[in-house]
Amino acid sequence: MRWDVWERGKTVLALYAQDDIPTYAHYDRLALGVWHADEWSPPE
């Protein structure tokens, strides 16, 4: 599992990827989320 998080002012973009291979070439599950920075909490 991999989380990449970018905070830009009041906006947070989070990319979640799940696979056995640690590159962006192929993932079984891939999701991009956009949150208001006040509502964002890091994944556990």
Query: 6 or 44: whose pLDDT is higher?
Result: 6
Mean pLDDT for the stretch of residues 15-44: 75
Q: Give the number of domains in the chain.
A: 1
Query: 27 or 40: whose pLDDT is higher?
Result: 40
pLDDT at 20 over 70: no
* Residue 24, domain extent: 2-36
Whether 26 is covered by a domain: the verdict is yes
Q: What pLDDT is stored for residue 39 in this prediction?
A: 85
Which residues contact residue 42 at a Cβ distance below 8 angstroms, ignoring those fewer than 6 apart?
3, 5
CA–CA distance, 4 with 42 (Å, rounded to integer): 10
Which residues contact residue 6 at a Cβ distance below 8 angstroms, ignoring those fewer than 6 apart?
12, 13, 14
**Distance set, CA 19 to CA 2, 5, 22, 42 (Å):** 8, 18, 7, 20
- In angstroms, how far is CA 40 from the centroid of its own chain? 11
Global confidence as pTM: 0.58
Whether 10 is covered by a domain: the verdict is yes
Q: What pLDDT is stored for residue 11 in this prediction?
A: 92
Whether 42 is covered by a domain: the verdict is no
